[in-house]
Structures are given as structure tokens and as C-alpha cells.
């Protein structure tokens, strides 16, 4: 797993759903950038970029957002999820935001974002509107993704 600084951290449990390590490596090579170049621009290490590409660790979304910006690609080019199966966390990742960053944009706490993403608390109209605006999706998509998390089987991550 990866710590907040993009380095290996065995205590972290976050996995970026849909990350395509091969697509990332292809994009890096197509941009004619070394791992060191991408690492420097994304404020991480070449070892971290290597670990993403070999699948040893999963990138944290804020570091991946900086890396994809350096490569001049969209996050969706290397994070692939079926639009019909997306959770709110998938939409958040596609726009390159961490939970604290999304919370700040929406005027919500990180805890509230976490609990909404997991379907653990009610999705109010106010929160639905704020999330739709911040994520650049419709309110219907927000509601559908929320309900997918709320109705998921026990033990299934959202």
C-alpha cells in the first residue's frame, strides 16, 4: 500500500479500484518520460512510480492526479471502471480528489464524505447537489452510486 507521501506503507489499506498499471506504463513511455521524470513532477519517488507499474502498490489519488497531469492524460485513461458499476469513490477518484479535498469543496467533513461513500448515512438533497457539482455528474448519477454503496453485500468495499 501507499502512504500519503506516495511511498510504500504496509499500514495503509486503500486500493485504487480500476487502476491499470499497464496503461500507466504505456502512457509514461508514450510521453517519453522516465520514472524519475514523472516522480519529480508528481512529487514522489521513482521507486513509487515503478511500484505502481509493477502492481506492488496502488497509487494514492492525489499523487496519481499529479502524475497524469505531468503525462498530459486524464485519470480515466489509467483508472478504468464500468460506468454502470461506479461508486461515489470512483467518481471522486476520476476527478482526482481525496476525501478531505472533496469535503472541502462540498463544505463537508472528511468523516461525512467517508460515510456517504460507504452508504452509512442518509444522502440529503443538499449533499446530493454539492456532490453532483463537485464531481461534475448528475444528481441521478450521485444517487445511483450512493444506492450502489448502500445496497452492497456486507464486506464489499465501496
Torsion angle defined by CA atoms of residues 111, 116, 122 and 126, in that order, rounded to the nearest 10 degrees: 90
Q: What gap in Å lies between CA 46 and CA 83, rounded to an integer?
A: 32
Q: Mean pLDDT by 10-residue block, N- to C-terminus, for the chain (158 residues)?
A: 40 75 98 98 97 95 97 97 95 97 97 97 96 98 97 91
Structure pTM? 0.87
pLDDT at position 13, please? 45
Residues 6 or more apart from 35 whose CB is under 8 A from it?
Answer: 28, 46, 49, 50, 53
Spatial neighbors of 41 by CB under 8 A, at least 6 apart, are: 66, 67, 69, 70
What pLDDT is recorded for position 15?
A: 81
Question: Is residue 63 within 8 Å of 44, Cβ to Cβ?
Answer: yes
pLDDT score for 61: 96
Q: Beta partners for 19?
A: 79
Q: What is the pLDDT of residue 156?
A: 87
Amino acid at each position: 500500500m501507499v502512504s500519503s507521501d506516495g511511498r510504500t506503507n504496509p499500514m495503509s489499506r486503500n486500493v485504487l479500484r480500476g487502476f491499470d498499471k499497464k496503461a500507466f506504463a504505456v502512457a509514461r513511455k508514450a510521453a517519453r518520460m522516465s520514472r524519475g521524470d514523472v516522480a519529480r513532477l508528481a512529487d514522489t519517488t521513482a521507486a513509487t512510480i515503478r511500484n505502481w507499474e509493477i502492481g506492488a502498490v496502488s497509487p494514492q489519488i492525489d499523487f496519481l492526479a499529479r502524475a497524469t497531469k505531468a503525462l498530459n492524460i486524464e485519470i480515466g485513461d489509467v483508472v478504468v471502471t464500468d460506468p454502470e458499476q461506479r461508486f461515489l469513490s470512483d467518481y471522486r477518484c476520476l476527478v482526482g480528489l481525496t476525501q478531505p479535498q472533496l469535503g472541502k469543496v462540498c463544505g463537508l467533513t472528511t468523516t461525512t464524505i467517508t460515510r456517504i461513500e460507504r452508504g452509512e448515512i442518509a444522502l440529503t438533497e443538499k449533499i446530493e447537489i454539492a456532490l453532483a457539482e463537485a464531481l461534475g455528474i448528475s444528481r441521478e448519477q450521485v444517487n445511483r452510486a450512493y444506492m450502489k454503496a448502500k445496497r452492497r453485500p456486507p464486506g464489499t468495499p465501496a
